[in-house]
Amino acid sequence: MIKEYTSISRVAGPLLVVEGVKGIAYAELVHITTQTGEERLGQVLEAREDMAIVQVFEGTGGIDTKNTRVRFTGKTLKLGVSKEMLGRIFNGRGDPIDNGPKILPEKELDINGNPINPYARDVPEDFIQTGISTIDTMNTLVRGQKLPIFSGAGLPHNMLAAQIARQAQVKGKDSFSVVFAAMGITKEEALFFQNEFERTGSLENVVMFLNLADDPTIERIVTPRLALTTAEYLAYECGMHVLVILTDMTNYCEALREISAARNEVPGRRGYPGYMYTDLSTIYERAGKIKGRQGSITQVPILTMPDDDITHPIPDLTGYITEGQFVLSRDLHMKDIYPPVIVLPSLSRLMNKGIGEGKTREDHYDLSNQLYAGYAHGNEVRDLMAVVGEESLSEIDRTYLKFSDLFEEKFVKQGFEENRTIEESLTIGWELLKLLPAKELKRIKEKFIKKYHSPEGRPDEPTKKGLTIPPKEPKKSPEM
Amino acid sequence: MTTGKISKIAGPVVTASKMKGAKMYDVVSVGEEKLLGEIIELEQDRAIIQVYEETTGVRPGEPVESKGMPLSVELGPGLLNHIYDGIARPLKLITEQAGDFITRGVNVPTLDAKKKHDFKPAVRPGDTVIPGQILGRVQETSLIEHRVLVPPDIQGKVKSIENGDQTIEDTIAVIHTNKGDKKITMRQYWPVRKARPFQQKLAPDIPLITGQRVFDFMFPVAKGGVAAIPGPFGSGKTVSEHSLAKWCDADVVIFIGCGERGNEMSDVLQEFPELIDPKSGKPLMERTVLIANTSNMPVAAREASVYTGITMAEYYRDMGYDVSLMADSTSRWAEAMREISARLEEMPGEEGYPAYLSSRLAQFYERAGRVINLNSSKGSISVIGAVSPPGGDLSEPVTQSTLRISKVFWALDAPLAYSRHFPAINWLTSYTLYDKALAPYFNKEVASDFTKVKARTMTLLQKEAELKEIVQLVGPDVLPENEKLILETSKSIREDFLQQNAFHDVDAYCSLTKQYKMIKTILHFHDVALKALEKGTKVVDLANLPVKEKIGRMKYDQNFEDHTPSLWKQIEQEVEA
């Protein structure tokens, strides 16, 4: 049922109004041929009896109202998927750009997918060891979770994402396949990831979709959906465990705002459309596990908070959908602490499912809870000290201050190549707690204090700045 | 029945022409796939329809058929212990029919029409019955007895009544009314946007006991009351709502996951059947209805989900039960309204929300309350609505409209959550307006000085806030010892009393008596210490006493009530020494 028209009546921003059309379906795919014979892709945004509004993915430059031909395909946007996509690089519309052969699709899937029935969902509870203490111990990632990185311009979120992709593994099981979608990032950033995957020899386990900064904005709307459709195929049909990295969601939201503005829609907060929450949820909610199926989709989207503002609509709506967030801190970054994950506003909502006896270790929950409380108090004291000076602090407060400094120096800070096991991370945590008197450890069950906490042998002060001490022998305390 | 044609499709909003005769809010089937929709605007012969399912691929010209009745929910035995989507379709049946993903045009009934229920009549032929009167009983689950009531619009003489195994479609009674004989089945339909009738609303004077210290002791909600929990993301709204759904002492619990996360719903689905009711020893799921319309499920069905939930709640209230309804989150519902309003190109009010936002919220919350039912029994619906203000900014329209209606305000606080103080309810900004109404209950049922103890606790916490400001300026050293003690005691109140671990076996639920004894213990320490200060003891030394650690652990002590006297003795001994 292919129909072709030349009756464009209006072009505005990324939108075309085509008149005199008949039987156009909502959301169907449109091919546009410009005067010069250039092919563009579009989608129906509004279908009426004699008119259709079309959103053009590659921009409307060069489209005229006389000679441009619009062909309605009668099909919705589909992606041909195959296992062969692993190791390949595609552009933001899903065409290969690595000079490799065309993909022979095993299946054609609607890129919008369908919502997973909550009844069919399986609870994510397999602990993923990322080798990063602040994540594994404090904000544990589990298989099937969506946990974004809230970053800021100039912070090392790409390094962190690459490190997670490289090190992530479920204990005793295979590592992950990675689907990587870039929306509006620079060629340089894309190359960083490409080189990282190549360097670590994992490229054949990676599918890359690249919509770069100079590619059409509007294409960014489809890129994450292509990536997730691929991920769903690999996970639910091929039984793989897929880690999806989406970067940068801020660019995605801006593309959404651009289309909304071009459609003259009523803007919501800061000009973003009122349906942005729903739209984002159709991306983020595609993470998960399904009962009775092998694979899983874990999402780590990256977004840069404009002006580091966590209340900006993009991080705000994201945080309301995702199961927590890792927040990167400029302060920590300035102190030369990598990864600059600030644990206080960070959160993993599914952490409790993935930790404890049989998964990580029995004391994990209590320990991380205590570290949190201690670090939070230490930070309060740090603020107080700025006002009243160190001398007027009580002794216990000074201890907390020292605890906080050491927490950042020894626990948060680690190398880009450093892959700590969960036991190593927990041990550092207990070492730090030795600073505090036992009465302060209200959040830890007595039996764990007896087992893991020995007040003797307090940790050494770091001898020079920048020193990290990964305890190579985790069996320091006699009980373990 | 009116049949028209689609003339325009824009996302979930579809316009159909030739619809003259269709009524406002009628349910329609849209297109060849028979998607479910509802008429939300009529203009000449055009009807504007919000569609509860994804409209991709629908074309202008496809048929639209009005079903001639408003969006209704099927009510009857078998509702409990199941999970539904926003328009009351059981998700389990959808999985069986459509697979793991929700596709379109799935048509499944709410209730199982084949299942036989053991119906025990409560009236005899010849009896005169009034609306709402109990016709008979069915043991719906091991926890809840389902009372089959005379529909609100029927009264007359019972001509016949059945006994024994019946399906919801079987006639269980015939009632002779002045409009002729009416056949009654156990199944009823009720339009979701219309409140079910009752005789009279009562003033709330019984608390809804939740087992959560910060709620029960500090800011209690009454049975039939309305509470709002606003808070930024990550501050623990969902965990609080879950705790309430698990432990509150209502007979029936309706939990609505409105536009929230899929993984959270699957967690509820996995966890609730494993939870045991502390009173009856039966699984809590047996008293629970779950409604899950996750954020990526159709937005129009999300809009309907809160109405579906409250209609079910009213149905059980009519039987004489105390029902509590948790809506997580009402902001998502408001956003669904906004999204649909924008598609209708209505003139927006504040922040793009429709101008009718606050009246819709008020209408919904007014369906809560403690009432005398048509059959003179008493029932209640307590509504606890989570609000997700963007950026944690409480001045936004949804929070403000909600606060105007709700009597209890549980303010979740990001800084508290960051320091893992859970439940992260700010004790200074939260409030309850039921304090006075509930005071007699607490003073009678728990302890005669309950309200006094509470007032004292509040004063200490307020004083702490003042002192902390001074400390911020000049440091803690300049404070006199008795003020330092206030800081120490308040810290103890915050950490040892207000903080509660929802994931700890013992601490997850705390009885009223235990709450009272815990706070009394902390205050006892304060009193004893105050005397010791007069003799020249320093607060620093008191804070390091071994008994402080014991106070810190009283929340985890299963038999704390028995251990209270010995703990008090230890306090006295150590402080005096």
- Chain A, 144 to 203: residues with Cβ < 8 Å from chain B are 144-145
Percent of chain B at pLDDT above 70?
100
pLDDT in tens, A145-185: 999 999 999 999 999 999 999 999 987 666 789 999 999 99
Least confident of A15-29, A272-286, A290-304, B466-480: B466-480
Print burial letters for A280-313: b (CB count within 10 Å at least 16), e (below 16): bbbbbbbbbbbeeeebbbbbbbbbbbeebebbbb
Mean pLDDT on B207-234: 93
Half-sphere exposure for B67 (CA within 13 Å, toward CB): 17
CA dist., res. B494 & res. A380, Å (int) = 16
| Whole-number Å distance between alpha carbons of A297 and A283 | 12
Note whether A114 contacts B: Cβ–Cβ < 8 A.
yes
Cα B566 to Cα B574: distance, rounded to the nearest angstrom:
12
Residue A475, pLDDT above cutoff 70: no
Quick one: DSSP state of residue B356? T
Identity of the amino acid at A427: T
> What is the number of CB-based contacts under 8 A between chain A and chain B?
230
Q: Residue B37: its chain A contacts at CB < 8 A?
A: none
Contact criterion met (CB below 8 Å) for B414 and B357: no
Q: Among candidates A70, A33, A41, which has minimal Cα distance to A58?
A: A41
Angle (CA) A377 A378 A383, round 5°: 95
Q: Nearest CB to B390: which of A110, A269, A290? A: A269
Cα B76 versus chain centre, distance: 21
pLDDT in tens, B321-358: 999 999 988 999 999 998 888 878 888 888 889 999 99
If residue A110 lies in a helix (H) or strand (E), which one and from where to where? strand A107-110
Q: What is the pLDDT of residues B74-86, one digit of tens each?
A: 999 999 999 999 9
| pLDDT at position A471 | 44
**Runs of H (alpha helix) within A67-217:** 133, 157-167, 187-199
Pick the residue of A121, A364, A371 with the most B CBs within 10 A to test the interface with B by mutation: A121
| Range B265-288 average pLDDT | 84
* pLDDT the model gives residue B352: 83
pTM of the complete model beyond 0.90: no
Q: Which two tokens stand for residue B314?
A: 């009213």
- Calculate the average pLDDT of chain B: 92
Q: What is the DSSP letter of B194?
A: S
Distances (CA, A) of B358 to B302, B326, B361: 18, 19, 5
Question: Other CB atoms closer than 10 Å to residue B379's CB: what's the count?
Answer: 26
| Secondary structure element (H or E) that encloses residue B460, with its range | helix B450-474
CB atoms within 10 A of CB B165: 11
Domains of chain B: 3-70 (2.40.30.20), 117-186 (2.40.50.100), 200-432 (3.40.50.300), 450-576 (1.10.1140.10)
CB-CB: which of B238, B335, B503 is closest to A277?
Answer: B335
Looking at the complex, does the CB of residue A1 fall below 8 Å from at least one CB of chain B?
no
Assess whether pLDDT exceeds 60 at residue A472.
no
- DSSP letters, B259-302, are S--HHHHHHHHHHGGG-B-TTT-SBGGGGEEEEEE-TTS-HHHH
| Mean pLDDT, residues A382-410 taken together | 90
**A313 Cβ under 8 Å from any chain B Cβ:** yes
